Structure 1
Amino acid sequence: MLQNLQILTKKKLHGDKMNLTFNQLMILYCLHKLQGERTIYSIYHLIQGKKSSQTIQDAHLFHLTPFFQTDTNMSRLSLEKTVTILSKEQLIVEKTDLHYAVTSKGEQELSKMLAETPIPIHLNGWKYQRTAALFWERLSLAVQVISHLKKRESKYIPVQRKAEPLLWMRQFLKQNRLSRDALGLQLYQELVSLLESDSSIEPDYIVIRLSGYQSFGLTESQAAKHFRMDLSYYHYLFLSMLHYITGYIEKNPSQFPILHAFLDKQQKHNLTNSTEKTYALLKQGNSVTDIMTIRGLKKSTIEDHLVELALNIEEFSINPYVSIEKQELIKKAAKERQTKQLKQIRSLVSNADYFEIRLVLAKYGEEL
């Protein structure tokens, strides 16, 4: 099966040299989007996927949701080193403590490098990263296991060693009634159909990482060397592929019954577990005060949950928490000042508190 998949792939080598790594370019891009309104550590929290109300809101307000939780290996030290490099190259300049703006030189370099190594078009960490990470664990293990089952070979080292995917694989095989040959054929056909569904994707970025019977997938660094590209750029191209795949399967479940089984069915909304519980209580008609009592949480915590709901649930109304008149005043102030800083907006709408401003920005920030 794996050998047949590899016939599908297109071998495109990316040998163009970059002055900056893609990670450094990405940080420059984020700083450009932030416009000096947040510290450099907001980027660290974004890339790490910190589930705080501030980070989640910033991701949406500054249009940085594609990068959310896309590199959990990033350290604060590596971020600081990149900022130092960008500053020495005069691509950024410090406005106030840890707040940086991109210079005109930086904007030119950013535009030039994005033309050479564009941000992968299907990258969407906020929407798909959690689902995609779990999907990859299951897919890579399934391809390996089913390939060996077809050959009646039981002695091999699983590519995934964590308990969850191994337990899931046992349950999947137990519940699936297809023969091992029929299961292998259907999985192969679904993968072929999926990888051929869009001409903008490169199947080899995925296939080269898969292991099968007497065939070993490459590591991320080995794959980057194979394609002669910057490691961080390959990392994001790979994630972009996974995000596309999981999104496409979610939209076409009947077309991919085997692959759809690899997705996490428990996640209805991209909410934190605590916000899910608050949302359930709200739908039961409980007030904020009621929920504070029921859950034993502070008002500020419930307010954080409401902001998260406004960001993620399109039909969630903020009218019970902010009057329509005040919403319009806040939106007008944000447009006039061309800012997302709460303090500046409140200087124009003194009768609005910070929670109300956050809620309006969460609901309408992207269109503003």
Structure 2
Amino acid sequence: MQSTPLRPMGIGRILDRSFQLYRKHFVALTLIMLILFGPFYLLQHLLMYQETASTSSSILDQIRSGKSLEDMFGADSYLQSNPAAQDPEFIWRALILMIVLVPIMLLGLFPASMASVVHLVKANLLGEETPKVGQLLKKSFRRFWPLAGSTFLGGLIMFGLYIGLAIVIVIFAIVFALGGSFSSAVGGSGGGGMVLTILFFILLGLGSLFAFAYFCIRWSYYLPFVALEEESIGLGRSWKLTRSSFWRLLGMYVVLTLILYLFLAVIQLIIAAVFGLGLWAQLLQSLISIIVMPLWYLPYAVSFFDLKVRNEGFGLEAMIEHTISSSPYDKSEELEPFDPFDDPQPINLDKKE
């Protein structure tokens, strides 16, 4: 266990440590995601098989066969028309996906996978032996119902906030529409009013997006508290934990989203160009998504413990207990502030003086 205090980390260091953990525990993280999300993606694609099977030829094959861009992306192409969507069987399969599989993923698979990553990061933070995949999953599913319940409650709150913001935008749209009709009837319409209206709705949309992101980030750190058995819900603790850290967390997620979405977009374009949009291509895309998925989770878990260090003195109690139980030492030999994700340097016992 560490004997020096944990130090706060900036955005760059959080992301750097997250990528280091990803490389170090790549096999374990990938196995966790495959075990949890592999069956879900497989069932999803099997349910949508009729829709995807007709697009097995790749874009490169279509170009080599002489098809033009109009043939591939025009009004009569598969990308623009989907006759399978009119099939009653397809509608039933889509309903099964939305009513059964998606709730299982959102309320079961997502919290369990995130909890597993939290336990893995905590073990590395405290210098403990990293639990095996089975142990991580066992710890996560031991808190399944509290995790599912708190996730449902948090999702319900964010859905209500989303509906509230949408209602506000609709009300403003109705008011402006009525006001514009009245101005046209009076004869006072002009281009300047239209420009101001567009600018107003742009600002209103950005403000609504910012408000949604603010509350989402402030409440999003409930899950580690529940996974670590510190809270049964965790929304209140999350709100307290993230105070004065919104802009830093928002910047971290913006940078992470740009990096990962750009990477995934390039990979998907390559897969579509080589394999087309058929079943096997979509299975390959799902496999890539599963492999990349821990990179979404790790910065969340690392930033959670960083917030605990900043606001709750996480690790300080363990350091005090270790200091009291150990013998006095010379201040000249005091170590640098502890970085929980740095690997300890090996000691060469064969070195001679």
Do these two structures clear the TM 0.5 threshold for a shared fold by scoring above it? no
Q: TM-score, normalised by structure 1?
A: 0.23
Q: TM-score, normalised by structure 2?
A: 0.24
Greater share of helix residues, 1 or 2? 2
Higher relative contact order (CA 8 A, sep 6+): 2
Max Rg structure: 2
